[in-house]
Amino acid sequence: MTDPFRTETGHKSWGRVVEGEHQVARPRRTGAVRDLLHQAGDRGLTALAYGLGRSYGDSNLNPGGALIETRGLDRFIALDVEARVLRAEAGVSFDDILRAIVPHGLFLPTVPGTRYVTLGGAIANDVHGKNHHSAGSFGRHVRSIRLERSDRGIQDVTRETDPELFAATIGGLGLTGIILEAEIDLVPIASAFIDQRTEALTGVDHFFDIAETRAQEHEHTVAWIDCTASGDRLGQGVLSCGDWADEGALTPHPAKAGPALPVDLPGFALNPLTLKTFNLAYRKRQLMKPARARIHYSGFFHPLDSVRDWNRLYGARGFYQYQSVIGFETAREATRAMLTRIAASGLGSFLAVLKTFGEYAPEGVLSFPKQGATLALDFANTGEHTLSLMADLDRIVAEAGGRLYPAKDGRMSAGMFKAGYPDWTRVEAMRDPLLSSQFWRRVTDD
Q: How far apart are CA 296 and CA 300, in angstroms?
A: 7
* Residue selected from 18, 52, 67, 86 as contacting other proteins according to rule CB under 8 A: 86
**Which region among 16-24, 44-52, 258-266, 327-335 touches ligand FAD (by CB under 6 A)?**
44-52
Q: What is the dihedral of CA 428, 392, 54, 185, to 10 degrees?
A: 60
- The strand pair at 220-225 and 237-244 is best described as antiparallel
By CB under 6 A, name the one of 174, 235, 237, 410 that touches ligand FAD: 174
CB-CB neighbours of 82 under 10 Å? 6
* Three-class secondary structure of residue 269 per DSSP: helix
Nearest approach, Cβ of residue 81 and ligand FAD (Å): 25
Measured CA to CA in angstroms, residue 429 lies from 124, 386, 393, 425 at distances of 16, 34, 31, 6
Choices 75-83, 217-225, 235-243, 287-295 (CB under 8 A): range interacting with other proteins: 75-83
Least distance from other proteins to the Cβ atom of residue 75, Å: 4
What span, in angstroms and rounded, lies between the C-alpha atoms of 1 and 112?
40
Among 18, 26, 47, 53, binds ligand FAD (CB under 6 A): 53
Q: Does 70 bind ligand FAD (CB under 6 A)?
A: yes
Among 9, 19, 35, 77, binds other proteins (CB under 8 A): 77
Three-state secondary structure readout of 318-363: CEEEEEEEECHHHHHHHHHHHHHHHHHHCCCCCCEEEEEECCCCCC
Instruction: Give dist(CA 123, CA 140) in Å, integer.
Output: 10
**Residue 430, interface with ligand FAD (CB under 6 A)?**
no
Spatial neighbors of 109 by CB under 8 A, at least 6 apart, are: 135, 138, 140, 141, 184, 185, 186, 187
- The residue within the footprint of ligand FAD, chosen from 59, 191, 196, 330 (CB under 6 A), is 59
User: Which one of 10, 44, 78, 262 is in contact with other proteins (CB under 8 A)?
Assistant: 78
Pairwise CA distance, residues 150 & 147, whole Å? 10
Tell which positions 377-436 bind other proteins, by CB under 8 A: none
By CB under 8 A, name the one of 11, 34, 99, 441 that touches other proteins: 99
Choosing from 25, 101, 108, 124, the residue that interacts with ligand FAD (CB under 6 A) is: 124
Beta carbons within 8 Å of 293's beta carbon, 6+ residues apart: 195, 196, 198
Q: Within positions 10 to 39, which residues make up the interface with other proteins, using CB under 8 A?
A: 28-29
* Residue 23 found at the interface with ligand FAD (CB under 6 A): no
Q: Which of 211, 202, 213 is nearest to 235 (CA)?
A: 202
From candidates 27, 57, 113, 402, binder to ligand FAD by CB under 6 A: 113
Positions that interact with ligand FAD (CB under 6 A): 14, 48-55, 59-60, 70, 90, 112-114, 117-118, 120-122, 124-125, 127-129, 173-174, 178-179, 304, 407, 437
Positions that interact with other proteins (CB under 8 A): 2, 28-29, 75-79, 86, 88, 96, 99-100, 103, 255
